[in-house]
Amino acid sequence: MTAELSVHFRRRCDAIATRWRNQLGLANFEPLAARQLAAAMTATLYRPKEVPNLSAEISTFMECNDKWHGVIVSFEPRTILYNPQQSPAGFESTIMHELAHFLLHHPPIKLYALTTERYYREYDDLIEREAAFLGGCLQIPRGGILWAKQGELSKEAIAAHFGASERMVQWRLNTVKF
């Protein structure tokens, strides 16, 4: 999944994750809730039924549909729409991923493109892998993985500590080089 991401890029992500934790008075081994980071980044999170001017029909459809996780609806001001039908760990991962798009200054995907073939091509593109990588770093920084390894924490314990899914923990364990 991250084979094409450069060492330089990975280090940059580690640095971004550490900088935000520092700014919030947190060590790399401490959990950072997506809502806390979003607030620090002045990003607003909405579930569909909270969006002003969204029709009840669309809002209800989105609230009940589990085929999506989250989407950036505005870069300025920073606004993320998320699916409330996610596990707490899924929510954390989704929001960190979308915040990563902001932090990496990715170009907005125009909403009109959501329904076109172009969107599906772009969805698997480099920016998605980059956001996935940084999102993982934000949830569980490199220092957090090293700390957990040192303390011989189980995958379940790491997941519970960081509010992450076990899948995310496994991915970070595979990704972080020692």
Q: Would you tell me which residues interact with Zn ion (CB under 5 A)?
A: 128, 131
For residue 34, the one-letter residue type is A
Least distance from Zn ion to the Cβ atom of residue 70, Å: 8
Least distance from Zn ion to the Cβ atom of residue 135, Å: 8
Least distance from Zn ion to the Cβ atom of residue 97, Å: 5
For residue 137, the one-letter residue type is C
- Residue closer to Zn ion by CB (options 88, 108) is 108
Q: Are 155 and 166 in contact (CB under 8 A)?
A: yes
- Residue closer to Zn ion by CB (options 28, 94) is 94
Q: Are strands 44-46 and 78-82 parallel, antiparallel or unpaired?
A: parallel
| Sign of the alpha-carbon dihedral angle for 101, 93, 18, 2 | negative
- Residue closer to Zn ion by CB (options 100, 145) is 100
Least distance from Zn ion to the Cβ atom of residue 55, Å: 25
- Residue closer to Zn ion by CB (options 30, 128) is 128
Q: Are 64 and 85 in contact (CB under 8 A)?
A: yes
